[in-house]
Structure 1
Amino acid sequence: MRTDSRLPRVLHVLLHLDQLDEPVTSERIGEMLNTNPSLVRRTMAGLREAGFVRATKGHGGGWILLRKLTENTLADVYSALGSPELFAVGRSGDAPHCLLERSANQATSAALEAARATFRAELERTTVADLVAPHAEVIREHQKKITGGKRRENAG
């Protein structure tokens, strides 16, 4: 089954953008995620439209954060990605007039809706900044090593 890993990948990118002073190019993000820069641009477009990031062009251009990570819940990011489907399970349409198929569809649909509601509630409880809080000091030290100390002081 094909999985959609955009949510954790985009959260990863947002966390890095928060740590850096300068804009980050789609090429650099693509290297970080082991993907094509054009896919990065398409994915980041949803975040740009939702007001999370801005892209600047030209020499020294790239993606920058527009809002602090404390202002964004994981649900906000999920919505900006178009709220991807959580499950491959769906309704059956083999015998739409059969009462037994309808009963089976109702039962699975109710369970799926409950799971979606639980997932969304969990995402709404957590800000993007919350992801770093338990490991803030270790992350700060690691970032200093890989960026040569280029880090915003008021990241958050």
Structure 2
Amino acid sequence: MKKAILLAVACAFAAAASAQQYKWTDKNGRVQYGDAPPPGVKATPLRPPPPAPAAAAKRADPKAAGKGLLTPAEKDAEYRKRQAEAAKDRDKLAKDQQAAEAKKENCARAQDYLRNLQSGQRLSGVDSKGERYYLDEAQIAQETAKAQQGVQQWCK
């Protein structure tokens, strides 16, 4: 029921809007407006207002209207550009994550090596002939200094 009433009101307004409007002056000197002037009165027909300049500009120059009126090829090019930027961002994020994981691993290794050097246990290594040798105090001090530099480098 509400829809029917709304439709009837809309039709009435549409009919009134499409009718010719007139302007005239009555006996008392007041300006009157209506769709039919009284007989015997000089009436001036009114013209509808011109369209807004923004609407005319949009019709005249679709390129100046902005991104709302892009051709399918332009839309596709923008889509591909956004996809390429997103892929670049994903790659950068993946590289950053890999670098962070590698740094974390290297930090853990450097800390473990430093802890082993400072533990006071006897440490050994393998020479070029494949034989085991034990580190003396000078070598342990030298390796400890290197390990501390590694911890400083990787564990910032």
Pairwise same-fold verdict (TM > 0.5): no
When you count strand as a share of all residues, which structure comes out higher?
2
User: Looking at both structures, which has the greater relative contact order when contacts are Cα pairs under 8 Å and sequence separation is at least 6?
Assistant: 1
Specify the TM-score bucket, using the shorter chain as the normaliser. under 0.3
**TM-score, with structure 2 as normaliser:** 0.24
**TM-score, with structure 1 as normaliser:** 0.24
